[in-house]
Chain A
Amino acid sequence: MIALAKLIAARVASSVLTLVLVSLVIFAAASLLPGDAAQETLGQSATPAQIAALRHTMGLDVPAPVRYVRWLKGMAKGDPGQSLVANMPVRDIIAQRLPNSLMLAAMTALVAVPLALALGITGAIYQGRSIDRALNIATIGMVAMPEFLVATLGVLIFSVWLMWLPSIALVSDTSTWFDIVRSCALPVLCLTVVVVAQMARMTRAAVADQLGRPYVEMARLKGVSLRRIVLVHVMPNAIGPVVNAAALSLSYLMGGAIVVETIFNFPGLASLMVNAVTSRDMPLLQACAMIFCGAYLILILIADVVAIVANPRLRAQ
């Protein structure tokens, strides 16, 4: 048990180190910007004295390493600075948007994980049969499908032709649960398509691997039904790789959300980040990028820790 705890602690420490290095990359990239924020804010007509004064208030007149440490300390305390465009604390802007994105991610996970499990287990049970081959081709195709095609097709089918669902996701404090679910249905559908293919493929591989083991053959020879073999014998053994697959695939949500939130005008963190790039609002962009990287690292960390806990051989290493 102590060895396991040590292994997990080492893995967590490595993630924290990676996050610090990632922050260095993001800070460095944002500092490469030609010209600086003070010049950009004041425009061409500003006098050098005005620019120097603003540079001082924005803290741009100190060397980059000092600014990095200040910024990192601020991020750690939950205060990533002041937005250049909206002229309000980045924390307040993000606080409005983050819950919406988390809700979207949670709804997508709720739909995508059971669906991927069902598809993956079906493929594994009918290995080599036509349904498995059809699923294989379909998931390979879905992996390479651009998110905006899925989204535009979704809008075309469900809101233009069938007129069932709204094409713009409006979320406000007054909307009821039904309204929220209805307006999120299309974004969730698109994100599900983005993540489900990879998840189903990895689930299939994990379950198929177990189905080829001798203990499954033994159970079959005993006359255990296929349903019971999968649910009672195979799933407990495959749960590690399957949770690993789910966590890894959910990390594709980060990329998918950037396109999907923009298409549906969804007031989430990813569309906020795209706006920050367009308006060159560096403090806001840096904060959004750090949140995405943090979430990504947490998902991968979960995947790795589950793999360690589920596999006794990994624990021994």
Chain B
Amino acid sequence: MIRALPWSGRIGLGLVVFWLAVALVGPWLAPHGVGDFVDMDVFSGLSARFPLGSDYLGRDVFSRLLYGARYTVLLGLGAALLASLMGTSLALFSAVNGGWIDEVVSRAMDTLTSIPSKVLALVLVAAFDSTLGLLLVICAITYAPGSFRIARALAMNLLQLDFVTAARARGEGKFYIALGEVLPNMVGPLLADLGLRCVFVVLLLSGLSFLGLGVQPPYADLGSLVRENISGLSDGAPAILAPALAIASLTVGANLLIDAIRTGGDR
């Protein structure tokens, strides 16, 4: 299966696997504690003791990166899963019921998609708060309508097919048709969409953290690491570039992988 991927897809797969591994075991590999002040100097460059330099308070950037990746990756995965779950279940509900229920749900989702995702997320952050749990829900609400649209289109096509008509003729209930007949046939496209949604969520979440509205201290995701070290930009400190490049390698890698899977390796 890996052999079928073009080289861009393999690079993407490698990056995604790498970041998943970092998210799972990263904290155990960290040479220093996440909040320990270990360097007398601030914004120091690369060295054997501090592989990615030190940050604005003299903490080890490498260790903070290993801890921060966990929040970025796991919040991204969690929010994308929640978004897909909400979008898909609403889509199935609305597609099998049809009629005015479908109209109302579709119109509501259309309304949410008409708000640019960052604007919606900012309004929700202002309305609620940005604790970790709420951020997860906010990102999920922001991207659920996109998932709804794709899942509903898939479900509507499947509902026209003969095996669904046969199930209806057998007298199966709506619940069974949705979960037993329609859902298993849309798993593939939904997984590709889930991957894309992960990329969007990671970008949104780290963008929010970068603005100071996402993950709040004492926790820090990769976006917060960029924000807290922004004063090192004029020195070109690795403390600001390393976390920014880390996020980009994750999102760009995931996007390359999804594109390679979608085009079926025909390039």
Q: Residues on A close to B: CB < 8 A?
A: 18-19, 21-22, 24-26, 29-30, 32-33, 133, 136-137, 140-141, 143-149, 152-153, 155-156, 160-161, 167, 251, 254-255, 258-259, 262, 273-274, 276-278, 280, 282, 285-286, 289, 292-293, 296-297, 300
Besides the contacts A30-B127, A152-B233, what 8 more A-B pairs have beta carbons closer than 8 Å? A24-B111, A25-B112, A29-B123, A32-B128, A33-B127, A149-B245, A258-B119, A273-B119
Tell me which residues across on chain B come within 8 A of A262, comparing CB atoms.
211
Alpha-carbon separation in the docked complex, A18 to B112 (Å): 9
Closest chain-B Cβ to A98's Cβ sits at a distance in Å of 15
Closest chain-B Cβ to A268's Cβ sits at a distance in Å of 14
Knowing A140-B256, A148-B226, A255-B117 touch, does A156 contact B233 (C-beta < 8 A)? yes
A149 touches B244 (CB 8 A): yes
Complex interface: stretch among B152-160, B161-169, B246-254: B246-254
Closest chain-A Cβ to B224's Cβ sits at a distance in Å of 12
B256 touches A146 (CB 8 A): no
In this complex, which of B213, B241, B248 has the most chain A Cβ atoms within 10 angstroms of its Cβ? B248
Knowing A141-B252, A141-B255, A152-B241 touch, does A285 contact B123 (C-beta < 8 A)? yes
Tell me which residues across on chain A come within 8 A of B251, comparing CB atoms.
144-146
16 contacts between A and B (CB under 8 A): A18-B114, A21-B107, A25-B115, A140-B252, A140-B256, A145-B252, A146-B207, A146-B223, A148-B223, A153-B241, A160-B236, A255-B117, A255-B119, A278-B213, A286-B123, A289-B122
Closest chain-B Cβ to A201's Cβ sits at a distance in Å of 10
Knowing A146-B247, A149-B245 touch, does A32 contact B127 (C-beta < 8 A)? yes
- In B106-130, the 8 Å CB interface with A consists of 107-108, 110-112, 114-119, 122-128
Shortest 6 CB-CB contacts between residues of A and residues of B: A144-B255, A144-B251, A255-B118, A21-B111, A254-B116, A149-B244
B23 within 8 A of A: no
**Number of contacting residues on B, CB 8 A?**
47
B236 touches A156 (CB 8 A): yes
- In B81-132, the 8 Å CB interface with A consists of 107-108, 110-112, 114-119, 122-128
A148 touches B244 (CB 8 A): yes
B220 within 8 A of A: no
A293 touches B122 (CB 8 A): no
A258 touches B114 (CB 8 A): no
Tell me which residues across on chain A come within 8 A of B126, comparing CB atoms.
29-30, 33, 276-277, 280, 282, 285
- In B185-205, the 8 Å CB interface with A consists of 199, 203
B119 touches A289 (CB 8 A): yes
Tell me which residues across on chain B come within 8 A of A146, comparing CB atoms.
203, 206-207, 210, 223, 244, 247-248, 251
Closest chain-B Cβ to A156's Cβ sits at a distance in Å of 5
B125 touches A277 (CB 8 A): yes
Partner of A145, one of B210, B248, B267: B248
Tell me which residues across on chain A come within 8 A of B252, comparing CB atoms.
140-141, 144-145
Closest chain-B Cβ to A271's Cβ sits at a distance in Å of 10
Knowing A137-B256, A259-B210, A274-B213 touch, does A144 contact B203 (C-beta < 8 A)? yes
A152 touches B125 (CB 8 A): no
B8 within 8 A of A: yes
Alpha-carbon separation in the docked complex, A18 to B235 (Å): 47
Alpha-carbon separation in the docked complex, A286 to B115 (Å): 12
B116 touches A293 (CB 8 A): yes
Knowing A25-B112, A143-B255 touch, does A254 contact B127 (C-beta < 8 A)? no
Partner of A293, one of B119, B226, B233, B256: B119
Closest chain-B Cβ to A106's Cβ sits at a distance in Å of 18
B240 within 8 A of A: yes
Can you name the residue of chain B whose Cβ is closest to the Cβ of A300? B114
B265 within 8 A of A: no
Tell me which residues across on chain A come within 8 A of B206, comparing CB atoms.
146, 148
Knowing A147-B207, A148-B244 touch, does A18 contact B236 (C-beta < 8 A)? no
Alpha-carbon separation in the docked complex, A292 to B115 (Å): 8
